[in-house]
Structures are given as structure tokens and as C-alpha cells.
Amino acid sequence: MNEMTRPIEVITQEIQFYKGQACMSMVEIGKRLLEAKQCLPHGQWGAWLREEVEFSERTAQNFMRIAKEYRNPQLLADMGNSASKAIMLLSMPAEDREEFVGEAHEIHGEEKTVAEMTNKELQEVLKQLEEERKEKEALKKQLDLFGDEAQKKQDEAVEAAYSEGEEQIRRLSQLKEEAETAAREAEKKAAELQAEVSELQMQKEQTTLPDAGELEKIRAEAEAEANKKAEAVLQKKLEKAKKEAEKARKEALEAQAAIEAHEAAQKEAEENALTLKEKLKQAQEDAEKRGKIAGNQSMAVFKVYFEQFQADANKMMECIRAAGEPEDAEKMKKAMTGLCHGVLDFLSAE
């Protein structure tokens, strides 16, 4: 009768204490199962489980995983010292589990911690997270595929640009050679015409009109007129040849300028490509640095939990001091002593 009239707060604290003991018992059982599996000869593990400890293989595996992955007793306490929740959270990567337990999550329009959720609610949250993870993985694969395709197209475009550039340089070089050949031929032709003009001029200077006879005079004048016309024709041919030579030289210079401009553009494209590679490399280094910084989050989380633990410990000691009945104070002390021993056992095991 006396037990039924105890304050509900005391009963609640005792239930929470024994729940914690139950979870710690699961951890301790798991440790010993791991030890037993190492001791037993090959092939005797399953029979030993059934006959000696009456565990199924699956149950034993759950105990052992809890022992290996829940080395921090505070993490079990933060999830309400629930064995079923601890088993459900084994599906989550260890590096994400502590952060997940320490945060509140929305379920049916409410913000709840893992300790506040029912097992069914926790299953719903984990299912939703798994769906989100699969969706992110599918999206990442699609993005990687697009990235690979874009890189492939970029490489093909660069290769095509280089090939086209090389072909264009080849054509321009050929045009340059043809222009230079035409210029040399035009200069040669101009030199030949110049020689013919010089020869005609010499012949003209050497021609003299004889004083004897009108016929000779007419003949001399005719020859002089013919020489004059021939000289004019040759002069026109010479000027035309000079213009053609000048045009050929100009075309050769333009071809050379086009080659130099194309080579400069190609060099600029190569420099831009190198700059892009450097930026990508810098982005990867920055991402790695951010990853390293993110790795220090566990220390920050530990600091928050440690400060909260100190505050809770102080509150528990105030409850002991304020206890009206010595029997209640003694129970509180035992509960707190058990918690301290659990922490010491964990630190010793580490």
C-alpha cells in the first residue's frame, strides 16, 4: 500500500533508471557475446546460442552490433534508453547516428526528438530519410552522368577545334607558298621584260638616220616608230607584271598574318583551358578543406552534450538535497551512483 502512495516523480525516475540499466545490460551482453564467439571453436557458435543462452542468431547479432556501435552510454540515454530504437538506428551510418539522435525531427507536424518519438514514428522518420537518401543518390548519379557527357562533348569540341585549326593552318600555309611562288614568277617575268625594254632602248640609241636618200630616211623613221611601239607594249607588260608581283606579295603577307592570328587564338584557348583546370583543382582543394572542417563537428557536439550533462548532474544533486524523505534521497543517490559507474566502465573499456 505504501508503494502505491509514493510520488509519481519518484516512480518515473526509478523507471528511467532501470530503463537505462536495461540498455546498458544489452551493451554488456553484446560485449560478452563478441568474446564468446572468439572463444568457441568453428561451427559451434549457433548451437551454443540455442542451448546455452537461448538466443537466435539474429538476436545475438543485434546485441553484438549494439555493443560495438553504442560505446557512448549518453547516446543510448538520449534515445530514451530504448533497446528497440537502438536496434532500428543500427541501419544508419555511425557518423550520422549521433547527430540524428541529438536533433529534433518533424513528424506529423510536430518537432520531436528520438526519445520523444514512438517506435512507429521513428520507423516513419527513418523510412523518409532512406527515401530521401535514395533520391539524392539517384540525382547524384544523374548529375554525374550529365557531367561526364558534358566533359565528353567538351573534349570532342576541343579536339575538333584543334583539328580544324591545324587544317586551317595547313590551307593558309599552302596559300602562302602559292602566293610566294607567284610573286617570284612575277618578279622573274618583270625582270625579263625589263631586260627587253633595256635592249630596245639600246637599239634605239644606236639607230642613226642616214643622210643618203629619202628611202633610207623613211625606213629609219619606220624602224624608230616600230621600236617606240614595241617599247610601249613592253612597258605596259612590265607595269602589269610589277602589279601582279606586288599583289602576290600582299597576299603572302595577309596569309602570314592570318596564320599568326590563328596561332595566337589557339594559344589563348590553351591558356584558358589551363586556367579552367587550375580553378577545378582549387575547387576540389576547397571542398576537401570544408570536409576536414566538417570532421570537427563531433567535438562541437561532444562539448554541447558535456555541458548539458554537467547541468543535469547539478540538477540531480539539487533533487537529492531537496528530498523530503531519507529513503527517497538514498534511492536517488543509488541511481546517480549507477550512472557514474556506467560512465567509468565505458571509459575503462576505451
Same domain, 184 and 268: yes
- Whether residue 156 is contained in a domain is answered as no
Give pLDDT, residue 273: 67
Give pLDDT, residue 4: 57
Report the half-sphere exposure of 295 (CA within 13 A, side-chain side).
6
Residue (of 249, 114, 261) closest to 176 by Cα position: 249
Counting the structural domains of the chain, the total is 2
The whole-angstrom separation of Cα 197 and Cα 233 is 9
The amino acid that residue 12 corresponds to is: T
Q: Over the chain (350 residues), what is each successive 10-residue block's mean pLDDT?
A: 68 72 80 92 93 91 88 79 82 85 87 88 88 85 79 77 76 81 81 77 59 69 76 81 83 81 75 75 68 55 75 82 80 82 72
β-bridge mates for residue 111, sequence order: 106
Q: Residue holding cell 593552318? A: 169
Asked if 89 contacts 79 with a C-beta cutoff of 8 angstroms, the reply is yes
Same domain, 170 and 74: no
- Whether residue 130 is contained in a domain is answered as no
Residue (of 53, 138, 129) closest to 88 by Cα position: 129
Same domain, 256 and 172: yes
Query: What number of helices (H) and strands (E) belong to the chain?
Result: 10, 2
- Whether residue 346 is contained in a domain is answered as no
DSSP of 134-200, one letter per residue?
A: HHHHHHHHHHHHHHHHHHHHHHHHHHHHHHHHHHHHHHHHHHHHHHHHHHHHHHHHHHHHHHHHHHH
Same domain, 183 and 89: no
Segments forming the whole domain that contains residue 12: 1-103
Give pLDDT, residue 206: 60
The whole-angstrom separation of Cα 44 and Cα 22 is 28
Answer positive or negative: Cα dihedral of 264, 269, 274, 275.
Answer: positive
- Whether residue 16 is contained in a domain is answered as yes
Same domain, 98 and 178: no
Give pLDDT, residue 283: 65
Give pLDDT, residue 50: 93
Q: Identify the H or E element spanning 278.
A: helix 214-294
The whole-angstrom separation of Cα 60 and Cα 66 is 10
**Domain limit, last residue, from 103, 118, 142:** 103
**Domain limit, last residue, from 103, 129, 158:** 103
- Whether residue 327 is contained in a domain is answered as no
Which cell is 34 given?
563478441
pTM over 0.75: no
Give pLDDT, residue 163: 76
Same domain, 96 and 7: yes
Same domain, 187 and 69: no
- Whether residue 308 is contained in a domain is answered as no
Residue 275, helix vs strand vs coil: helix
Q: Distance of CA 292 to CAs 68, 124, 285, 328, Å?
A: 25, 32, 11, 49
Report the half-sphere exposure of 259 (CA within 13 A, side-chain side).
17
The whole-angstrom separation of Cα 232 and Cα 230 is 5
Phi, psi (deg, nearest 5) at residue 139 = -65, -40
- Whether residue 84 is contained in a domain is answered as yes
- Whether residue 181 is contained in a domain is answered as yes
Residue (of 308, 334, 322) closest to 77 by Cα position: 308
Give pLDDT, residue 289: 63
